[in-house]
Amino acid sequence: MATFPNSIPSKLPNSGTTIFTVMSKMAQEHNAINLSQGFPDFPCSEKLLSLVNKHMKLGHNQYCPLQGVQELREAISEKMEKMYSAKYDPDTEINITAGATQAIYTAITALVREGDEVIVLEPAYDCYVPAIKLNGGIPIYIQLKGKNFDVDWEEVKKVITQRTKMIILCTPHNPSGSILTAGDMQALDKITRGTDIIILSDEVYEHIIFDGYEHQSVARFPKLVERSVIVYSFGKTLHATGWKIGYCVAPENIMKEFRKVHQWVVFTCNTPVQYAIAEYLQDEQIYLGLYGFYQEKRDYFIKLLQGSKFKVIPASGSYFQLLDFSSITDEKDTDFAIRLTKEFGIASIPMSVFYHKPVDEKVLRFCFAKKKETLEQAAEKLCKI
């Protein structure tokens, strides 16, 4: 086939296809149990499905306002107040998005300019850096420390310059499952006081946190709220990642800029789903029950792995479990992840992909948002290695 133009200079020369797509495809091709990409393998609620259907039949099938369906923004506003004692105006400070990834991309595009520096804590979820780079921003990397993936705030403070525009947080953390504490938030507050730094806080696993810990949302800290965009995901909370519905909250002056970009990226998101979620969320057990639901899965998966050669790296949140395989092989994590999929029938995510530099700690990430039987079958295979 003739090609024109002969070569297209890439705006993202170092980006391949995201690891989640790569590993899910490999899992499918090799008929492996897919614990790689994070998504539940059990259905979402029948009641929620009926509500979507109900709102479709009621005729809620056309564009909604660009900021999202009013009822849903009101439900979110109430939820933010109930959970975090934070007041967000549904008209001016809340926006529905096509998933958290779109919210993150849009926030970065609205706020980061050519030459701006953005502090990224590594390991980092894979959508942050490409968004920074596409907007001419410069990622400044800080490594999380030790087995708890702690933030060294002194180190963060040291890299802050006049050009620092944003700090990106993720708690509960993907991929490590670590969580930020109130002390972390206070340290962040201290180092950002008197600056124009914006915080972009990815809190999509807000309701998946274990062992009695409380989610320390940025929203709990009034001084941080003033400078923050916080991103959430209904996909995670409602077991419906394929619906691609999320939202973000921010003070009015930041949200104004966010919306200017949002309208050109997607304009609005799926209408009937938003109506359905607004109604469904009236029952707070839907999200308050997630802690126990997922803690049981995490504990069960860990128990099933007792006696295997994998070493469990303890975590306090998210639906991911890190496993250290250093006593099994010296292979690179990427190679081992491929071999595990092809030869042993288990797909996972190699941790090294979450770093910009070659780091290989011989660790893989496994998603335990799965049915009991799936976890049992997976553990049986892992225990044989």
What is the binding site for ligand GLN (CB under 6 A)? Answer: 18, 20, 37-38, 174
- Nearest approach, Cβ of residue 369 and ligand GLN (Å): 9
164/321 with CB nearer ligand GLN? 321
Q: Nearest approach, Cβ of 18 to ligand GLN (angstroms)? A: 6
Q: How far is CA 295 from CA 163, 212, 236, 298, in A?
A: 41, 10, 15, 5
Residue (77 or 270) nearer to ligand GLN, CB: 270
Q: Which is nearer to ligand GLN, 18 or 295 (CB)?
A: 18
Identify which of residues 21 and 326 has a Cβ nearer to ligand GLN in the complex.
21
CA distances from 140 to 54, 123, 126, 128 (A): 47, 13, 15, 12
Instruction: Tell the smallest beta-carbon distance from residue 170 to ligand GLN (Å).
Output: 10
Q: How far is the CB of 266 from ligand GLN (least distance, A)?
A: 16
Length of the chain measured in residues: 385
CA-nearest of 70, 107, 100 to 257 is: 107
Tell me the C-alpha distance between 375 and 369, whole Å: 9
Nearer to ligand GLN, 18 or 181 (CB): 18
Whichever of 18 and 92 has its CB closer to ligand GLN, that residue is 18
Contact 127, 101 (CB under 8 A): yes
Of 22 and 76, the one with the shorter C-beta distance to ligand GLN is 22
Which residue reads 């946190």 in tokens?
209
Q: How far is the CB of 22 from ligand GLN (least distance, A)?
A: 10
Find the shortest distance in angstroms from Cβ 347 to ligand GLN: 11
Instruction: Tell me the closest approach of the beta carbon of residue 311 to ligand GLN, in angstroms.
Output: 21
Query: What is the Cα–Cα distance from 83 to 156, expressed in whole angstroms?
Result: 28
